[in-house]
A and B are shown apart, each in its own frame.
Chain A
Amino acid sequence: AQSVTQLDSQVPVFEEAPVELRCNYSSSVSVYLFWYVQYPNQGLQLLLKYLSGSTLVESINGFEAEFNKSQTSFHLRKPSVHISDTAEYFCAVSADYGQNFVFGPGTRLSVLP
């Protein structure tokens, strides 16, 4: 079975500052890794994913995440955040092709003016 840990339940940060949201996972098999974003009262949107290949993956809105197999981590980073990045961020893993996701508990990112 897989599990996901997001150590920070809340991360407040000032606008234009850098941010890192941490994600660690445990699994006995190879996994696929994802970051989803949820804006208030909305469903989840896929932010970025790691399936294979380059361990650094990027999204279209400036976020990036790096898969570190030895540390079983997939931390999300952005060099300069905007007010509009305020949302809940979920890390997720999936170990079986075509099967389900296991979500972490989420990290609430609050960007302050």
Chain B
Amino acid sequence: GAVVSQHPSRVICKSGTSVKIECRSLDFQATTMFWYRQFPKQSLMLMATSNEGSKATYEQGVEKDKFLINHASLTLSTLTVTSAHPEDSSFYICSARSTSGRPFYEQYFGPGTRLTVT
């Protein structure tokens, strides 16, 4: 149980276009989902936290108009990179936390999406 999927696993897009990444909790309901960005050979940096049905909370330095996050249901959150540029190329990882009442550290990670902007 507690599987999180991401789609697509890899995406290549042209500079100036937008790309959407989906994060799904397959066998549990996730009230909270997190989006991370990981540069090559570096650690994960939290970009934003999204709670189902409310606006996402962005970390300092993350442009909310560029990285649009929608958490419309208890099993799906999407990250849209708008007007992508080569510097947005990175590995994006989501994680999901189960509904309230579960330990906070039970955060399940997706396999990641590698975005390449040409």
Contact = CB atoms under 8 A, between A and B. Distances in A.
Contacts of A113: none
Interface stretch (B14-22, B42-50, B65-73, B76-84): B42-50
Interface residues of B, number: 21
B112 A41 contact: yes
Which of B46, B49, B107, B111 neighbours the largest number of chain A CB atoms within 10 Å of its CB?
A: B107
Contacts of B95: 43-44
Interface residues of A, number: 24
A45 B49 contact: no
Given A43-B4, A98-B104, A90 B93 contact: no
B111 A51 contact: no
Interface stretch (A13-21, A55-63, A68-76, A100-108): A100-108
Contact of A44 (B6, B104, B109): B109
Given A42-B111, A99-B104, A106 B42 contact: yes
Nearest to A43: B109
A90 B44 contact: yes
B110 A94 contact: no
A99 B32 CA distance: 10
Interface of B: 4, 6, 9, 34, 41-46, 49, 93, 95, 104-105, 107, 109-112, 114
26 contacts: A9-B41, A32-B105, A36-B109, A41-B9, A41-B114, A43-B6, A43-B93, A43-B109, A43-B110, A44-B44, A44-B109, A45-B109, A46-B105, A49-B105, A51-B105, A90-B43, A94-B104, A94-B105, A99-B104, A100-B34, A100-B49, A101-B46, A101-B107, A103-B44, A105-B43, A108-B41
